[in-house]
Amino acid sequence: MKKYFIKAKKIYTFDHQKSIYDTLLIENNKISDLGNNLIPKDTDIPIIDLSDYTILPGFIDSHVHLTSTAINEILIDLSNFTSIKEIVKALEALRDSLPEGDWIVAKEFDPVNLEEKRNITQEELDKNFPKHPVLIIRKDSHSSIINSLGMKLLDVEIFPENGLIKERDHQIAIGKVYQNIDPSLLVKGLIKTLKKAAEKGITTIHALEGGYTSPPNSPQLLLGLSQYFPIDVIIYYQTTSIKKVKELGLRRIGGCLLVDGSISTLTAAVSEPYLPNQGYGVLFWDMETLSNFIRTAHKEDLQIAFHAVGDRGIDLLVRAYQKVLKEIPKEDHRHRIEHFELPNKEHIKLASQLNLTLSLQPSFLYFWGGEGKLYEQLLGKERAKRIIPLRSILKEEITAGGGSDSSVTPMDPFLGIYSAINHPNEEERITLEEAIKMFTYNGAYIGFIEKEKGSIERNKDADLVILEKNPFEFREKEEILNIKIVATISRGRFVYKDTNLVTNL
């Protein structure tokens, strides 16, 4: 339908006036009009009656490794295994169906879920898979485990510790392995991934692509396939080649360009050692090199995004941005920091003064925050309280979008929203409205697409998520985790419908 009315119980627009309506008109994939009781009695325009349901703006996931997530759709998922013995048995079954020399690649390996509470070793892999290269990607997506044959076939200089490879070595390894993936399988994985995103109410994804962690030419692939996607994909090219970005007509560079590593692998750069006394992490840039790159990209009018997690990594990046912006001021650059997990108060204030934007992953708190969990184990109680300090960030009026870092955590905005309003540190919790805004308007703003998306307003894209229940009326916060999505509309088209909940769409 090119033109139709939607009647709902409540439509939360998330416009600047925080308007709430019950009717909207969609015309040519845009929101043409909205208000209360808009539908004329004698209209011949089709009416979709959703008067039992609540509507929000379509969700925006501001940090997704899309092709890597798509590849995970075609890899072996180890997340439900409870022992190394079970994992080996499952991989042996696959081994026996593959020709010698074919890669065995598995994902979502998490020692926390296993009886042994440890990594599988290279020795164990060599014993059971002497004629097949094996790569097992850990849950954090910043490390993996490889056997000796795999090391030999990669033919690159990397330095594992009993088969465990981290950060750049990990990126090099999976980049080489990804080159062997059938492109047709990758396309199937992409379509499946984007359909799953639509089922979660997501209508736009910021895709962080390129570099070692993506298949070859993934930005070009996504650009070529974009017209076939059910939802919109905004590309951040993870390269230091400004020429490549400009040739593709993109206006964004970076994403997970690593300033430092991750907390789970003890490679995020921190000012106090990990517990117990396990080092200070790694910085992958120095001030001169980093500021030179930022200066060049800034002059080319590109939006820049960098991954920074630990307080030392954040400090280096914020001060590099400060140096360049002092030399070449620009009011509306919206340069980004991805993750921003362990900032101090000075970093937050400086990020605000510099008009930097953030892409945060609240669901990290759900999996690894709180008493006795990973952040506390590695950082101690006091530092763990500072992880992803949402309230402190919003107090400084920094625009922060919400993301999943998929496939590290699932593309599930309500999981992120729930995690944000239930921050383990009560002082850092934010309201439901603020949390939803992270995954709607803020996600649009930090990608320069707020004129088209992020709120329900006239002349914007008709990107909507229809909910069975109204989250603002829940008595218990836990209800948010079980909220059901009735349908998702992307650019005026239904891209998902739950036929168990509604039959008139």
- Give the Cα separation of 412 and 54 in Å (integer): 18
Which of 69-78, 158-167, 370-379 reaches the highest mean pLDDT?
370-379
Mean pLDDT of 409-423: 98
Average pLDDT, the chain: 94
Cα→Cα distances 247→208, 233, 244, Å: 17, 18, 5
Mean pLDDT of 471-482: 94
Helix (H) or strand (E) segment spanning residue 27: strand 20-27
* Per-residue pLDDT reduced to its tens digit, 271-289: 999 998 889 999 999 999 9
Mean pLDDT of 314-330: 98
- Give the Cα separation of 50 and 168 in Å (integer): 49
Mean pLDDT of 374-383: 96
DSSP secondary structure string for all residues of 319-333: HHHHHHHHHS--TT-
Q: Which residues contact 136 (CB under 8 A, 6 or more apart)?
A: 78, 105, 106, 107, 109, 120, 125, 144, 145, 146
- Give the Cα separation of 3 and 8 in Å (integer): 17
Closest C-alpha among 12, 84, 9 to residue 440: 12
Checking if the pLDDT of 492 tops 80, the result is yes
Checking if the pLDDT of 159 tops 80, the result is no
Indicate the range of 94-108, 369-383, 486-500 predicted with least confidence. 94-108
CB of 289 closer than 8 Å to CB of 341: no
Indicate the range of 17-31, 148-162, 201-215 predicted with least confidence. 148-162
Q: Please tell me the pTM assigned to this model.
A: 0.89
State the virtual CA torsion across 429, 434, 440, 441 in degrees, nearest 10: -130
- Give the Cα separation of 379 and 266 in Å (integer): 10
CB of 489 closer than 8 Å to CB of 11: no
Mean pLDDT of 154-173: 81
- Give the Cα separation of 404 and 63 in Å (integer): 6
% helix, strand, coil for the chain, step of 5:
35, 25, 40
Mean pLDDT of 192-221: 91
Query: Could you tell me which residue, 345 or 163, shows the higher pLDDT?
Result: 345
Indicate the range of 113-117, 292-296, 484-488 predicted with least confidence. 113-117
pLDDT score recorded for residue 213: 67
Q: Which residues contact 448 (CB under 8 A, 6 or more apart)?
A: 251, 303, 334
Checking if the pLDDT of 167 tops 90, the result is no
User: Percent of the chain beyond pLDDT 70?
Assistant: 100
Checking if the pLDDT of 505 tops 80, the result is no
Q: Which residues contact 89 (CB under 8 A, 6 or more apart)?
A: none
Checking if the pLDDT of 198 tops 70, the result is yes
